[in-house]
Homo-oligomer: A and B are copies of this chain.
Amino acid sequence: MFDLLKTDATCKARLGRLTTPRGIVDTPAFMCVGTQGSVKAIDPRELGELGAQIILGNTYHLNIRPGLDIIRAAGGLHRFINWPGPILTDSGGFQVFSLATIRRIQPHGVEFRSHLDGAPLFLGPKEAMAIQRVLGSDIAMAFDDCPPHTSTTRELRAAVERTIRWAQECRDQPRAGGQSVFGIVQGGTNAELRQECARALVALGFDGYAIGGVSVGEPEPEMLRAVEMTEPFLPANQPRYAMGLGTPAQMVELIARGVDLFDCVLPTRVARNGTAFTHTGTVSIKAGFNRADFQPIEEGCDCFACSNFSRAYLRHLLNVGEILGLRMLSVHNTRIFLKVMGEVRAAIATGTFAQFRREFAANYVPTRKVLLARAADAER
Q: Which residues of A contact B (CB under 8 A)?
A: 36-38, 40-45, 61, 65-66, 69-70, 73-74, 80-82, 291-292, 294, 304, 308-310, 312-313, 315-317, 319-320, 322-328
Complex Cα distance A308/B317, Å? 27
| Cross-chain contact B294 with A74 (CB below 8 angstroms) | yes
Complex Cα distance A324/B37, Å? 10
Complex Cα distance A272/B40, Å? 16
| Cross-chain contact B320 with A323 (CB below 8 angstroms) | no
| Cross-chain contact A82 with B316 (CB below 8 angstroms) | no
| Cross-chain contact B324 with A41 (CB below 8 angstroms) | yes
Residues of B near A310 (CB, < 8 A) are: 74, 80
Residues of B near A323 (CB, < 8 A) are: 38, 40-41, 323, 326-327
Complex Cα distance A337/B312, Å? 31
- How distant is A150 from chain B, measured CB to nearest CB, in Å? 30
CB < 8 Å: which of B43, B44, B73, B315 contacts A327? B43
Q: Chain B CB within 10 Å — which of A308, A316, A317 has the most?
A: A316
Complex Cα distance A37/B326, Å? 15
CB < 8 Å: which of B45, B73, B324 contacts A42? B324
Contacts beyond the supplied A80-B316, A82-B313: 11 A-B pairs with Cβ under 8 Å? A38-B323, A42-B324, A43-B327, A45-B304, A45-B308, A69-B292, A73-B294, A80-B310, A81-B313, A82-B308, A82-B309
- How distant is A110 from chain B, measured CB to nearest CB, in Å? 22
User: Known contacts A65-B320, A292-B73, A320-B65; is A313 also within 8 Å of B37 by CB?
Assistant: yes
**Residue in chain B with minimal CB distance to A69:** B292
- How distant is A345 from chain B, measured CB to nearest CB, in Å? 29
Complex Cα distance A220/B317, Å? 34
**Residue in chain B with minimal CB distance to A268:** B323
| Cross-chain contact A70 with B327 (CB below 8 angstroms) | no
CB < 8 Å: which of B65, B292, B326 contacts A319? B65
Complex Cα distance A313/B71, Å? 9
Residues of B near A73 (CB, < 8 A) are: 292, 294, 312
Residues of B near A70 (CB, < 8 A) are: 291-292, 312, 316
User: Known contacts A41-B323, A323-B323; is A312 also within 8 Å of B82 by CB?
Assistant: no
Complex Cα distance A304/B69, Å? 26
| Cross-chain contact A316 with B44 (CB below 8 angstroms) | no
| Cross-chain contact B313 with A80 (CB below 8 angstroms) | yes
Complex Cα distance A43/B322, Å? 11
| Cross-chain contact B43 with A324 (CB below 8 angstroms) | yes
CB < 8 Å: which of B41, B65, B326 contacts A316? B65
**Residue in chain B with minimal CB distance to A322:** B38
What are 18 sample pairs from A and B whose C-beta atoms fall under 8 A apart?
A: A37-B317, A37-B322, A38-B324, A41-B324, A65-B320, A66-B291, A66-B315, A69-B292, A70-B316, A73-B292, A73-B312, A74-B294, A74-B313, A80-B312, A80-B313, A82-B313, A323-B323, A323-B327
Q: Chain B CB within 10 Å — which of A61, A73, A310, A323 has the most?
A: A323
Q: Chain B CB within 10 Å — which of A73, A80, A320 has the most?
A: A320
Complex Cα distance A190/B69, Å? 58
| Cross-chain contact A322 with B40 (CB below 8 angstroms) | yes
Residues of B near A43 (CB, < 8 A) are: 304, 308, 324, 327-328
| Cross-chain contact B312 with A74 (CB below 8 angstroms) | yes
Complex Cα distance A61/B44, Å? 33
Complex Cα distance A320/B74, Å? 18
